[in-house]
Chain A
């Protein structure tokens, strides 16, 4: 084969031409020409690809959630050491929040006494992570 192209390139061009020729075949030619071949698995492969894509997305979301959750857990929170002080801080925060006319958050803590110490601490951690607590402290010089 007198050709200036490399053998790799020539082989690729020949196989590419055969590939493209398959796209131009009629349905009946495709069916008769490859009749002896095992049944194609194209749909199965595509469905597996769709599944893999979903799982990859799910894993990415899980990783993101875990990282966010880890960063909240590992954060050095500036919250009081005792349960009573924490409850008092949240109480003050909610009062200030309510005074500003926003009621969405305070509705959940209408009766702060019924909220467990763990929930109080968790709420303060979340507020601190959001930067709301430090803003409140700055505003009230706490």
Chain B
């Protein structure tokens, strides 16, 4: 009796299909953009492990899973609407799916992994940068190493940005970078904004 009461309470907290329809309709333009950019950066971070899946696929798969969860206790993602804001929940679902994609294709090999070279000044240069093609790295099939090098190269005159990128690449969080590297918060925030401006989500 006590158990079924508890089960009923838990079920009532999970959003229904109608709740999801309403939440989607109520998304503000900023939230739409926020989720789009979130998905784009996540997929860009997967590189070839995305296996041709796009940010649209990530958004789509996340929402299918959330709808499944609204109608089944056994599968999909269950949105407890009273506990987590919709945008944060969708982002969390995408985080989980992207992580799964990354792990599922762990054994993928890059075919152009050793192209990056270091100049006498210590700059990382990709031979692909000299190629006539103006296509983005993803389309040219660039490796993670090349893309990282190209990203750092964008900030050769911005020490803060390089420090932040290197911190992130080490697995540091924003607060850790602020604390451990002694970078004031406003300086960190401004650096992140510059990085976001130049490293476009796509």
Contact = CB atoms under 8 A, between A and B. Distances in A.
Check if A and B associate. yes
Interface of A: 1, 3, 5-8, 10-19, 21-23, 25, 27-28, 30-31, 33-34, 37, 40-43, 45-50, 52-53, 57
B28 interface: yes
Interface residues on B, range: 35 or more
A1 B143 CA distance: 15
Interface of B: 17, 20-21, 24-25, 27-39, 41-42, 44-47, 49, 56, 59-64, 67-68, 71, 87-88, 91, 102, 110, 113, 124, 143-145, 147-148, 151-152, 165-166, 168-171, 173-174, 192-193, 195-197, 199, 201
Q: Which 5 A-B pairs have the closest CB atoms?
A: A15-B45, A49-B63, A19-B41, A27-B30, A10-B169
A109 to B, nearest CB: 38
A103 to B, nearest CB: 34
Given A13-B169, A16-B42, A18-B201, A33 B68 contact: no
Given A22-B38, A33-B197, A50-B67, A14 B171 contact: no
Contact of A14 (B37, B45, B145): B45
Contact of B170 (A5, A27, A52): A5
B41 A1 contact: no
Given A18-B196, A45-B59, A7 B102 contact: no
Contacts of B59: 42, 45-46, 49
A41 to B, nearest CB: 7
Contacts of B196: 18, 21-22, 33
A21 B34 CA distance: 10
B166 A7 contact: no
A49 B148 contact: no
B88 A23 contact: yes
A43 B27 contact: yes
Contact of B168 (A6, A17, A34, A46): A17
Nearest to A25: B34
Nearest to A56: B64
Contacts of A34: 33, 37
Given A19-B38, A22-B196, A43-B24, A10 B63 contact: no
A138 B31 CA distance: 67
Given A1-B152, A42-B59, A47-B24, A53 B68 contact: yes
